[in-house]
Amino acid sequence: MTKDENSAKRPTLKDVALAAGVSVATASYALNDVGSVGGDTRRHVLEVAARLGYRPNLSAKAMRTGKTSAIGLILPDLTNPFFPALAQNVVHAARESAYSVFVTDTQGSPEAERAAAQALIQRGVDGLIWFPINDEDTLAHLTGGLPVLVLDRDNPRHDLIQIDVDSGGRMAAERLIRAGHRRIGVISGPTDVRSSRQRSESSAEVLRRHDALAWHLHNAYSFDLEPTVAAAVADGSVTALCVGADLIALGAINTLRQRGLRVPEDVSIIGFDNIPYGALAFPGLSTINIPVEEMGIEAVNTLLRRIAKPTESRRRLVFDVTYVERGTVAPPPTP
Amino acid sequence: MTKDENSAKRPTLKDVALAAGVSVATASYALNDVGSVGGDTRRHVLEVAARLGYRPNLSAKAMRTGKTSAIGLILPDLTNPFFPALAQNVVHAARESAYSVFVTDTQGSPEAERAAAQALIQRGVDGLIWFPINDEDTLAHLTGGLPVLVLDRDNPRHDLIQIDVDSGGRMAAERLIRAGHRRIGVISGPTDVRSSRQRSESSAEVLRRHDALAWHLHNAYSFDLEPTVAAAVADGSVTALCVGADLIALGAINTLRQRGLRVPEDVSIIGFDNIPYGALAFPGLSTINIPVEEMGIEAVNTLLRRIAKPTESRRRLVFDVTYVERGTVAPPPTP
DNA sequence: CTGCTTTAATTAAACGTTTCATTTATAAGG
DNA sequence: CCTTATAAATGAAACGTTTAATTAAAGCAG
């Protein structure tokens, strides 16, 4: 029971320098591969550092350099099946560049979002990847000059990564037209965000052009359909549905089945998002795929570039979507 | 274009002290509500700090105190539907105590897991919430004396939060027996982890006692059934399935349907985990619920307590599970 | 009024880095 | 052999906090 039982304090740079017989400055230069350090000395320091298991104290480094090698990821809701894959890829891409990620889930609350941003800034993150609740530029004055990458929303001052939702909405509508449907309902998700609204409007526009738009309703982002929507879905007024979000689409399928209608024999459905659930349904949900994985990776890359070059001109990346055919589209029933 | 365009550097404690006309020490004491500071002075400092929008630099604080107010969360796979709810609640509970969370997803790779732990430790997190890949005590020597809370796995030295899987496995089996089934198959998930293995063994044991165990196979944690499992499921040898993981259960339902069998009319199924997908299936998957939300919250609480009192005796929390009846259990078909 | 205790405030060291400015040693040039 | 340039290494300051040690002021008993 000696005093230092197993308290083996992590070795500090001073310890390394001491053990290597050089000054702290030299040790630092050697380890960071800067300054002018003799080849032998450098090797020796590295060797000693390795032997002692030296790992720099990142807090100290952060204080000195003003960089934390950490970024923040602000998401509305981790349990929204759209986000885990995004978060996963952000975390991985970040790690490849030796960055760590503070993940924050704001539960769809703008106040929580503000608080989260504040907390992260206070922590001194080098940048933020931010999937905001809405399009409002509320964080602008909070973030100050901090590098921010905004996902899927509009924002006048930050780097943007977006999705070509128009094309997605059109693809879905066209697919249903091509299958022969002429009475098609559109359900859009939350309507207070441009990107979300636009999906369904693009669909609706195509359908209108073919004179095939039966109605256009909207529903909260939820598996549960609001009564009026549920009624419209199952009252026989349509033979197909163009839905702005997979989760709602799955809810629609559920409603249809509960009322004795079959998918896709009686009603065809196309969703949007390609959340993992969709592939697991029976039959699998046909949908518009959003390349979340790539988006996550590119978000990190873009943010890190911005961190490195704060003055570079604003970037705006638009990702293509693709139609994923599974099992929920069929020709309309023959009456 | 003055020099300090909009570079409005964040005010430091020195700035506050200066503006308030006190020493840095006094400002610090006042803000942290310690030491002996006169009531007037304290109020004044607080007022000035608020006016300047002062937020302490956490890196500096961390270096001085050795505490970062950050914890790490190490998960095997965020896209595994079991985890997002857990992560969400960890993040929230942590925020309530002014802690931030580094989230790491190790993609089921032990090397990645080690690397992640190293990185987090280097960052100086105050503790780790760790859902390990397996039961091996591999991180023990890495973590040193760092407070660690282990989720759902066995570990001899750390605080533990576990699930009463035995009771869950039994509940599932008993429910099927009670429904009248006598030819029941058991599918277990990954078998290299005690907690996972035990679920199905408890089920199997009950079934054996009732002479109702048709077979006991296992399958990777995946929606796709391995050929032998798929064959067994659909060859008519059983009227019910007791599955150690919802994801596999959903895969089984899919397989059954593809082969023309109905759930639950022809085959009843009970899963385990209560992942969100299950509720969205049609009919909803009957399953054993694990209180992930509470687990997440309690994980944070337990970890923070351990951080505060490192010498307290080891804690081990076992959470009860509950059976959730949805739509996949029915009496066996009458031949 | 003196000496002692309490309260309020301050000074300065320390945490572990990075990095500027400086010193020392070595080599090159005349 | 002296000067000067270059290379290698070092000393010390700084980053923004906390906190132990110290001082100054005030209150109060005797």
pLDDT tens digits in sequence order for chain B, 335 residues long: 333 334 567 899 999 999 999 999 999 999 999 888 999 999 999 999 999 999 999 999 999 999 999 999 999 999 999 999 999 999 999 999 999 999 999 998 999 999 999 999 999 999 999 999 988 887 777 888 899 999 999 999 999 999 999 999 999 999 999 999 999 999 999 888 899 999 999 999 999 999 999 999 999 999 999 999 999 999 999 999 999 999 999 999 999 999 999 999 999 999 999 999 999 998 999 999 999 999 999 999 999 999 999 999 999 999 999 999 999 999 999 87
Is residue B154 a contact partner of residue B135, using CB atoms and an 8 Å limit? yes
- pLDDT given at position A137: 81
CA distance B179 to A322: 45
Write the CB contacts of B123 (distance below 8 Å, at least 6 apart in sequence).
Answer: A58, A59, A70, A100, B68, B70, B72, B102
- Same domain assignment for residues A98 and A137: yes
Question: Which of the four pLDDT bands, split at 50, 70 and 90, describes residue A9?
Answer: confident
Tell me the average pLDDT across A74-95: 96
- For residue A108, the enclosing domain spans 70-163+292-320
A57 Cβ within 7 A of any nucleic strand C atom? yes
Domains identified in chain B, total number: 3
- Same domain assignment for residues B201 and B274: yes
The pTM score is 0.93
Contact residues, A window 43-62, toward B, CB-based 8 Å cutoff: 55-60, 62
Share of chain A above pLDDT 70, in %: 98
Tell me the average pLDDT across A33-45: 91
- Same domain assignment for residues A142 and A94: yes
A41 Cβ within 7 A of any nucleic strand D atom? yes
Strands (E), chain B: 70-75, 100-105, 127-130, 148-151, 159-163, 184-188, 213-218, 240-243, 268-270, 287-289, 316-319, 322-324
Nearest CA in chain B to A120: B100
Q: Which of A298, A280, A83 is nearest to B83 (CA)?
A: A83
- Same domain assignment for residues B282 and B303: no
Determine, yes or no, domain membership for A332.
Answer: no
- pLDDT given at position A214: 98
Is residue B85 a contact partner of residue B292, using CB atoms and an 8 Å limit? yes
Determine, yes or no, domain membership for A194.
Answer: yes
Q: Is the dihedral of CA A229, A234, A237, A241 positive or negative?
A: positive
Instruction: Sort strands B148-151 and A213-218 into parallel, antiparallel or unpaired.
Output: unpaired
CA distance A6 to B7: 46
Strands (E), A154-295: 159-163, 184-188, 213-218, 240-243, 268-270, 287-289
CA distance A43 to A50: 11
> Which of A54, A103, A225 to mutate to test binding with chain B, by most B CBs within 10 Å of its CB?
A103
B63 Cβ within 7 A of any nucleic strand D atom? yes
CA distance A334 to A313: 56
Kindly tell me if the per-residue pLDDT of A3 is higher than 70: no
- pLDDT given at position B5: 37
Residue A101, amino acid: V
Kindly tell me if the per-residue pLDDT of A5 is higher than 70: no
Determine, yes or no, domain membership for A62.
Answer: no
- pLDDT given at position B4: 38
Instruction: Report CA-CA distances (Å) from A184 to A157, A332, B231.
Output: 39, 10, 40
The three state secondary structure string of A94-149 is HHHCCCEEEEEECCCCHHHHHHHHHHHHHHCCCEEEECCCCCCCCCHHHHCCCCEE
Tell me the average pLDDT across A282-287: 95
Model confidence over A232-246: pLDDT tens digits? Answer: 999 999 999 999 999
Residue A314: Cβ-neighbour burial (10 angstroms; 0-12, 13-18, 19+): exposed
- Same domain assignment for residues B106 and B88: yes
Determine, yes or no, domain membership for B184.
Answer: yes
B60 Cβ within 7 A of any nucleic strand D atom? yes
Model confidence over A294-320: pLDDT tens digits? Answer: 999 999 999 999 999 999 999 999 999
Determine, yes or no, domain membership for B220.
Answer: yes
Cβ–Cβ gap A122/B254 under 8 Å: no
Cβ–Cβ gap A103/B103 under 8 Å: yes
Nearest protein residue to the C1' atom of C19, measured from CA: A25
For chain B, how many helices (H) and strands (E)? 13, 12
- Can you state the percent helix, strand and coil of chain A, rounding each to 5? 45, 15, 40
Residue B84, amino acid: P
Tell me, what CATH number does B91's domain have?
A: 3.40.50.2300
Distance, CA of B25 to C1' of C2, in Å: 33
Expressed in angstroms, the distance from the first to the final Cα of chain B is 88
- Same domain assignment for residues B153 and B196: no
Kindly tell me if the per-residue pLDDT of A138 is higher than 90: no
Determine, yes or no, domain membership for A3.
Answer: no
- Same domain assignment for residues B127 and B210: no
Strands (E), B31-126: 70-75, 100-105
Nearest-by-Cβ selection for A280 from B70, B78, B223: B223
Is residue B265 a contact partner of residue B251, using CB atoms and an 8 Å limit? no
Is residue B19 a contact partner of residue B49, using CB atoms and an 8 Å limit? no
- Same domain assignment for residues A273 and A190: yes
> What is the distance, to the nearest Å, from the Cα of residue B166 to the centroid of all Cα atoms in its chain?
19
CA distance B62 to B41: 26
- Same domain assignment for residues A144 and A232: no
- Same domain assignment for residues B26 and B74: no
Determine, yes or no, domain membership for A335.
Answer: no
Instruction: Report CA-CA distances (Å) from A148 to A117, A121, A204, A306, B217.
Output: 11, 11, 33, 8, 50
CA distance A151 to A131: 5
- pLDDT given at position B8: 62
Determine, yes or no, domain membership for B331.
Answer: no
Tell me, what CATH number does A42's domain have?
A: 1.10.260.40
- Same domain assignment for residues B137 and B285: no
CA distance A88 to B116: 13
Question: Which of the four pLDDT bands, split at 50, 70 and 90, describes residue A8?
Answer: low
CB neighbourhood size of B86 (10 A):
26
- Same domain assignment for residues A86 and A152: yes
Tell me the average pLDDT across A204-208: 98
